[in-house]
Structure 1
Amino acid sequence: MTVQASFFDGGRRLQMTESIELTVHSLQAYGPDHDHWGIAWSGGKDSTTVLTLVIYLLQTGRIKPPKTLTVFYADTRQELPPLAIAAQLIIDELRERGIQVDVVCAPLDKRFMVYILGRGVPPPNNNTLRWCTRQIKIDPMEEALRQRLDTLQGNILMITGVRQGESAIRDQRIEMSCGKDGAECGQGWYQKVLPNARGLRGRIATLAPVLHWRVCHVWEWLKHWAPTIEFGDWSTAAIADAYGGDEAEEINARTGCVGCPLASEEKALETVLLSPRWAYLAPLRGIKPLWRELREPQLRLKKAGLERLKDGSIAKNPQRMGPITLEARLSALERVLSIQAECNEAADALGRPRISLINLEEEARIRALIAAETWPDGWEGDEPTGDTVMETVYQNGVVQPLLFSAEEVG
């Protein structure tokens, strides 16, 4: 007796081998149209799955190899240490196989720690100042792609770990469709251009060959398949551990930057610290409160009155809050270095991997920028601190005097 799938059960779930076969079909359908392939790899669970799976399929002859293959690893310098450590192991394994790996990192002055502690730009927030993702990840990746394309004839197929789970499954099959000019159609497996890539339109196509994978298959691949000799002997089990080990699937694990200022809770780090292997990283809990402190008025400058911009217009917020003071930056640098040292002392004692929040080059640059009294554009450093009591100035020039003097308020 055949049981018909109902509207409510979502149809038959794909098995692991079926998910792999659909990935093979996707790569066979679109891969041969491109002489050059790139794999965008963040070190997270989905992009690591597609990376190791594609290499396995290439090396076992399941799919036809391109003329060139480049792995682009996005090193934000902010990833959770277990993921960064696992990524370095996998980079070594890729290079042992003769695969080109380009480690993509933001220029020194644009890196997260240097930008905040050296230049004095406040930590990002979810409202008006969300600068981090583009600056430390998207822009460096686009620049790396430009440099790679300069050495190639033709275009490149960028393979990504974008995954939508079972929403991509219709009638027990995957609809693989193409799009033009960045507009997706069908299930969006394949796009002829890379959306929002400035100056790269027409030379990059994207493919998401694990779009249909269920999250349980991702964990199965990372924990049990990829680490075996048969499927590549990859160091991927450590990534599953970073997401919560055996409980990763159940807790719907997510990861992000260490002490991410944009997250309301430090769920990713707390998940890592639940593992006895990573408990020595507990001092990292001090990063997030530091970013919160650096947004406080007493540690920042503010404009004292009407501010005329370069185009001659008047700033919408005449007394807007601005950069972090030199003293606060130096104090924050020492706190981050102290947290790093505490973690590494414990690592040495336990025989565990050391971490790098701020390396020697970054520390030297931060200290140099502070010593040179560097400020963001439009700031001189002689502005009052944000907690200074003063008359309110509106954009139209109207001034509201203080009801009490500064001495009386104090």
Structure 2
Amino acid sequence: MDNLFGIEKISVGDCQELTIQSINAYAYQHDHWVIAWSGGKDSTATMTLIIYLILSGQIRQPKSLTVMYADTRMELTPLAIGAENMLKQIKALNLPWLRTQVVMSDMDHRFFVYMLGRGVPPPNNMTLRWCTQQIKVTPMQKAIEAEFDTIGEKVLTFTGVRMGESAIRDGRLSMACTKNGAECGQGWYMNTLDNKITATIAPIIHWRVCNVWDWLQVFAPQKRYGGWDTSMLIQAYGGEKVKEVNARTGCNGCPLVDEDTALDAIMEKFPKDWGYLQPLKELRPLYREMRKFEYRLRKHGETKMDGTPTKNPYRVGPLTMEARKYFTNAIIHIQAKVNRLATAFNRPQIDILNDEELSRIEWHWENNIWPQKWEGTEPLATDPFNQIYNDGSMEVKLFEM
């Protein structure tokens, strides 16, 4: 039966059969497989499905399968707990060809270390979207490169990239995060992974969001399909009515979205379980505050030799040292408030900024570290600036905010 847009609805069974066909046609060219897993719904459906299909004999067992979990250290709490539980389930299978690996960015490129230590402003969707690539995609690339170096041959990487119904209608595959329930950065792997070291396959690319949730809610938890504990994942997306909520999950207080849809949903649907996370709602306003000019430096308004302005001559740049210290204390305060409530209500604590990361942030301060091409001697962005011309003359202006 066709729907309003003329697209035939298919069942999970039909979706699964198409997935098997695509794997049979393509995956067997490679003996070593990797699953790039974010812990979100699409990549979790991919991961649990692939393991089920192998164990049930519907696709050939590879020589090795490595489930690489991208731990950003910023994921929504139930999502992070759910991923940890599933990692334990995979290890409990005790299969010689199946292993797990937690993939994390190096210390200096973790979200808070990069921002509060080095002074790089919070990411935004316009000119400075550094987070997805840095804390999710690049670490995965490095891990797959290391896998290639160890094995000595090209590996096959499975991703959770999936076409939504709108993408099917207009023939477009969205490669970045969207507001329609997509995993943050889910398509970036397809675009950025080095095809010299890995081939890439998206085995559920044809699945609809309803198929994904049918698999995660109905099939995957059954013993015959693996007995996967998807309860925390389902809560992270809003509970039993995930199809209606259609929440996009991402980092706690994600700076790239207008609303904390997933955080709001879990606190509303499960107040006794997750209401104590309320202080995390303070993160997004804090990121907005960080972008204000009063906390940042600015480049001098110089011109080129021909008298024309340099590119972006009055560029507003990094956080001042004072701002970094102020906002670090604010983050620590938010985390402490959550964890005091967690203790009071016997709930899991959060760990978005640990002692090791804090120590590295302080190291940046002590060593006067700044982003590339910045020295820390530049004026505040709120100070009046001087336009310097090639003849040495100067025009004093007030910086317009």
Amino acid at match of 1:65: Q
Partner Cα distance (1:252, 1:397) in 2: 59
The answer on whether the counterparts of 2:302 and 2:387 sit within 8 Å (CA) in structure 1 is no
Partner Cα distance (1:336, 1:80) in 2: 16
Tell me by how many angstroms 1:315 deviates. 3.9
Tell me by how many angstroms 1:345 deviates. 1.6
The answer on whether the counterparts of 1:166 and 1:212 sit within 8 Å (CA) in structure 2 is no
TM-score (norm 1): 0.84
2:180 corresponding residue in structure 1: none
2:72 corresponding residue in structure 1: 76
Tell me by how many angstroms 1:168 deviates. 8.9
Higher alpha-carbon deviation: 260-269 or 134-143: 260-269
Tell me by how many angstroms 1:120 deviates. 0.6
What residue ranges of structure 2 are gaps of 5+ in the alignment? 170-188
Structure 1 residues 282 and 169 mapped into 2: Cα distance closer, same or farther (>3 Å)?
A: closer
Amino acid at match of 2:386: E
2:47 corresponding residue in structure 1: 51
The answer on whether the counterparts of 1:38 and 1:71 sit within 8 Å (CA) in structure 2 is yes
1:177 corresponding residue in structure 2: none
Structure 1 residues 392 and 260 mapped into 2: Cα distance closer, same or farther (>3 Å)?
A: farther
Partner Cα distance (2:3, 2:231) in 1: 36
2:175 corresponding residue in structure 1: none
1:117 corresponding residue in structure 2: 116
Amino acid at match of 2:240: D
Correspondence for 1:388 among 362, 374, 383: 383
Instruction: Give the structure with the higher percent helix.
Output: 2
Query: Does the residue aligned with 1:400 lie in a helix, a strand or coil?
Result: strand
Amino acid at match of 2:19: T
The answer on whether the counterparts of 1:244 and 1:272 sit within 8 Å (CA) in structure 2 is yes
Partner Cα distance (2:377, 2:288) in 1: 24
Correspondence for 1:252 among 214, 229, 246: 246
Higher alpha-carbon deviation: 142-151 or 76-85: 76-85
Structure 1 residues 88 and 214 mapped into 2: Cα distance closer, same or farther (>3 Å)?
A: same
Structure 1 segment 216-227 matched on structure 2, within 5 A? 216-227=210-221
Partner Cα distance (1:294, 1:288) in 2: 10
2:357 corresponding residue in structure 1: 362
Structure 1 residues 154-187: Cα deviation after superposition (integer angstroms, max 9, x where no partner): 32111111111557989xxxxxxxxxxxxxxxxx
Partner Cα distance (1:167, 1:298) in 2: 42
Tell me by how many angstroms 1:230 deviates. 2.0
Structure 1 residues 58 and 307 mapped into 2: Cα distance closer, same or farther (>3 Å)?
A: farther
Partner Cα distance (1:141, 1:18) in 2: 31
Amino acid at match of 1:326: M
Structure 1 segment 130-169 matched on structure 2, within 5 A? 130-165=129-164
Query: Does the residue aligned with 1:151 lie in a helix, a strand or coil?
Result: helix
2:279 corresponding residue in structure 1: 283
The answer on whether the counterparts of 1:16 and 1:217 sit within 8 Å (CA) in structure 2 is yes
Structure 1 residues 278-304: Cα deviation after superposition (integer angstroms, max 9, x where no partner): 111000011111111111111111123
2:373 corresponding residue in structure 1: 378
Residue identity over aligned pairs, in percent, reads: 46
Amino acid at match of 1:66: P
Higher alpha-carbon deviation: 233-242 or 266-275: 266-275
Tell me by how many angstroms 1:396 deviates. 9.5
1:189 corresponding residue in structure 2: none
Structure 1 position 24 matched with structure 2 position 23: no
The answer on whether the counterparts of 2:303 and 2:389 sit within 8 Å (CA) in structure 1 is no
Correspondence for 1:299 among 292, 295, 301: 295
- The ranges of structure 1 where at least 4 consecutive aligned residues each deviate by more than 6 angstroms after the TM superposition are 167-170, 394-398
Tell me by how many angstroms 1:148 deviates. 0.4
Query: Does the residue aligned with 1:250 lie in a helix, a strand or coil?
Result: helix
Partner Cα distance (2:201, 2:191) in 1: 12
Query: Does the residue aligned with 1:356 lie in a helix, a strand or coil?
Result: coil
The answer on whether the counterparts of 1:119 and 1:369 sit within 8 Å (CA) in structure 2 is yes
Partner Cα distance (1:352, 1:376) in 2: 38
Query: Does the residue aligned with 2:382 lie in a helix, a strand or coil?
Result: coil
Structure 1 residues 207-251: Cα deviation after superposition (integer angstroms, max 9, x where no partner): 111112221121122223212222212121210110111221112
Structure 1 residues 291 and 396 mapped into 2: Cα distance closer, same or farther (>3 Å)?
A: farther
Structure 1 residues 167 and 21 mapped into 2: Cα distance closer, same or farther (>3 Å)?
A: farther
TM-score (norm 2): 0.86
Partner Cα distance (2:45, 2:389) in 1: 54
Amino acid at match of 1:143: K
Structure 1 residues 105-134: Cα deviation after superposition (integer angstroms, max 9, x where no partner): 111001110000001111112222221121
Structure 1 residues 320-341: Cα deviation after superposition (integer angstroms, max 9, x where no partner): 2111111111111111111111
The answer on whether the counterparts of 1:45 and 1:239 sit within 8 Å (CA) in structure 2 is yes
| Higher Rg of the two aligned structures | 1
2:32 corresponding residue in structure 1: 36
The answer on whether the counterparts of 2:332 and 2:353 sit within 8 Å (CA) in structure 1 is yes
Structure 1 residues 205 and 390 mapped into 2: Cα distance closer, same or farther (>3 Å)?
A: closer
2:199 corresponding residue in structure 1: 205
Amino acid at match of 1:161: G
What residue ranges of structure 1 are gaps of 5+ in the alignment? 171-192
